[in-house]
């Protein structure tokens, strides 16, 4: 499932998602975020020295969002319970 989503973003089929591809996908969802802001938000997931990420980076991004927003990790498919 996650690979199909990755593949949807990866319009040129090179195995990497560049910021422009991500921006175009978000634009289609009416989430208009300027490219410099996207680069800043997603730079932790980029490959070394680049402005793109491969499937492994996409999984890391998905896990980060899942953990922060939903307390969920897609790799382990377990709820993350934080001690209060």
* Domain residue ranges in the chain: 2-79
Q: Give buried/exposed letters for 25-45 (b at 16+ CB in 10 A, else e).
A: beeeeeeeeeeeebeeebeeb
Report the alpha-carbon distance of residue 50 to residue 48 in Å, rounded.
6
Nearest to 38 by CA among 48, 55, 56, 25: 25
| pLDDT above 50 (res 77) | no
pLDDT-based confidence at residue 75 (cuts at 50, 70, 90): low
What architecture is domain 2-79?
Orthogonal Bundle (1.10)
pLDDT-based confidence at residue 15 (cuts at 50, 70, 90): very high
Point out which residues pair with 73 in neighbouring strands.
78
Residues 50 and 27 sit within 8 Å (Cβ to Cβ) = no
| pLDDT above 70 (res 25) | yes
């Amino acid at each position: 499932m996650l690979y199909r989503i990755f593949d949807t973003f990866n319009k040129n089929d090179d195995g990497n998602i560049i910021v422009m591809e991500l921006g175009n996908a978000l634009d289609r969802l009416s989430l208009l975020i300027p490219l410099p802001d996207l680069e800043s938000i997603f730079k932790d997931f980029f490959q070394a020295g680049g402005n793109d990420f491969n499937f492994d980076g996409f999984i890391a991004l998905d896990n980060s969002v899942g953990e922060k927003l939903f307390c969920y990790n897609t790799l382990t498919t377990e709820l993350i319970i934080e001690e209060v």
